[in-house]
């Protein structure tokens, strides 16, 4: 971990995945805004030095926040955050400018105008690029330009930065009074078998950062991510803090276990009798097409074998996980464990998101899954943060 000598605030902070990664890169979170109380509770538990405000951001006065933090305009190093992404998502049922969530980025800009930070970071879903044919992204970039920021945007594959899943995020970076250099975004560290299924160009330019031929690292597998966690049966809860299944057998596990006193948030949800029966037929890498027709849900008996390829999926231990969602429900994705007859636990989902084991999630199990699924993978945030730190340090010389 770098020394946390740069100051940042996190808006729309969720459970704190973005702040966790930025902390590893050398940024100290002074303040976080989050409207959902249980998310804010998790954030505060894991970032005890930050002021956490549980309010609708539209009711928060950034000038009061700046005064309470003891900062003058222009002193803050970074404002990070991401407005709720559902309205932008390519998977949203209705992608409309009438969805008021689509305008919350203006609240982020309001904080930028007040604080005038040295740098900005906005994260969102890949669908932001194509939403309203790029009009929303243009509005964000134009607004930042009017506030004096040179900006750039890329779509980063989390697996290229050591996150063991098929997840992509749109990242916008900006520097106050500077043209954003071409090397502002981190170069991929790993090769990974991921392909975008969304618009990848903006104003005629590709936004995807791909590994170079010189990149030597190989992606982190599901087994490397979770293979040392305790075995559980369907519905087994066990003690609140569990011991590890074995010694760490890869660098990823060693990193995830650093500073940990044991395994938290590792309790297996209870599968229905029907799902347990279906699971008997699903091999690692398989899905609903392995299930005998008589055991399929009624709606899926009419589906084509080429459709819904992740549903009732059992992950491949030597492959990547599919994107962790807010519910690790096997009906919606490949969330069956590769060699245990159950679905993922919160801790396994968190490991696949690259949260370290000392990071504790509060609330009910369903609330914990939602926090993990909505989070920015810390390793991805760290890679972005390291590059940002280098840019800011270069300015100081």
Active-site amino acid positions: 85
Q: Residue 122 in 3-state DSSP?
A: strand
Q: How far apart are CA 372 and CA 68, in angstroms?
A: 30
Cα-Cα-Cα-Cα torsion 54, 59, 64, 66, nearest 10 degrees, comes to 70
Q: Which two tokens stand for residue 355?
A: 């949260």
CA distance 318 to 304: 27
On whether the CB atoms of residues 20 and 259 are closer than 8 A, the answer is no
By CB atoms closer than 10 A (0-12, 13-18, 19+), residue 86 is middle
Helix-helix angle 105-115:135-146, to 10 degrees: 10
Using CA atoms in the order 364, 254, 214, 198, what is the torsion angle rounded to 10 degrees? -10
The residue whose two tokens read 């992404």 is 85
In the chain, alpha helices (H)? 17-25, 37-46, 62-68, 105-115, 135-146, 222-226, 251-257, 273-279, 346-352, 365-374, 378-396
**Cα 62 from Cα 85, distance rounded (Å):** 22
DSSP code at position 198: S
In whole angstroms, how far apart are CA 312 and each of 103, 280, 281? 36, 11, 11
- Rounded-to-integer distance, Cα 27 and Cα 3, Å: 8
Neighbouring residues of 343: CB distance < 8 A, sequence distance ≥ 6: 268, 269, 271, 328, 329, 330, 335, 336, 337
């Amino acid at each position: 971990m770098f020394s946390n000598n740069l100051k940042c605030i996190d808006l729309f902070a969720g459970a704190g995945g973005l702040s966790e990664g930025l902390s590893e890169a050398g940024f100290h979170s002074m303040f976080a805004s989050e409207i959902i109380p249980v998310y804010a509770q998790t954030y505060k538990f894991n970032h005890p030095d930050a002021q956490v405000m549980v309010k609708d951001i539209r009711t928060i006065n950034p000038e009061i926040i700046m005064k309470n933090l003891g900062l003058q305009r222009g002193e803050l190093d970074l404002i990070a955050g991401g407005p709720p992404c559902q309205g932008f998502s390519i998977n949203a049922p209705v992608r409309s400018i009438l969805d008021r969530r689509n305008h919350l980025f203006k609240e982020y800009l309001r904080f930028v105008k007040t604080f005038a930070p040295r740098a900005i970071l906005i994260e969102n879903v890949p669908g932001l690029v194509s939403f309203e044919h790029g009009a929303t992204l243009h509005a964000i970039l134009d607004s930042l330009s009017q506030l004096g920021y040179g900006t750039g945007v890329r779509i980063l594959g989390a697996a290229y930065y050591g996150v063991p899943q098929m997840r992509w995020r749109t990242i916008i970076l900006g520097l106050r009074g500077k043209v954003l250099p071409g090397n502002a975004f981190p170069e991929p560290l790993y090769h990974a078998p991921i392909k975008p299924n969304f618009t990848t160009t903006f104003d005629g330019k590709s936004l995807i950062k791909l590994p170079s031929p010189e990149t030597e690292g190989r992606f982190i597998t599901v087994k490397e991510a979770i293979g040392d966690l305790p075995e559980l049966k369907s519905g087994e809860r066990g003690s609140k803090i569990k011991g590890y299944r074995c010694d760490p057998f890869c660098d990823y596990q060693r990193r995830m276990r650093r500073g940990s006193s044991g395994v938290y948030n590792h309790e297996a949800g209870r599968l229905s009798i029907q799902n347990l029966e279906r699971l008997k037929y699903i091999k690692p890498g398989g899905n609903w097409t392995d299930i005998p027709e008589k055991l399929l849900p009624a709606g899926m008996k009419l589906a084509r074998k080429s459709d819904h390829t992740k549903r009732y999926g059992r992950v491949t231990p030597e492959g990547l996980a599919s994107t962790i969602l807010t519910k690790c429900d096997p009906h919606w994705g490949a969330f069956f464990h590769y060699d245990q007859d159950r679905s993922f636990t919160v801790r396994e989902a968190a490991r696949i998101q690259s949260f370290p084991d000392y990071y504790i999630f509060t609330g009910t199990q369903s609330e914990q899954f939602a926090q993990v699924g909505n989070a920015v993978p810390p390793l991805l945030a760290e890679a972005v943060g390291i590059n940002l730190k280098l840019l800011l340090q270069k300015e100081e010389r």
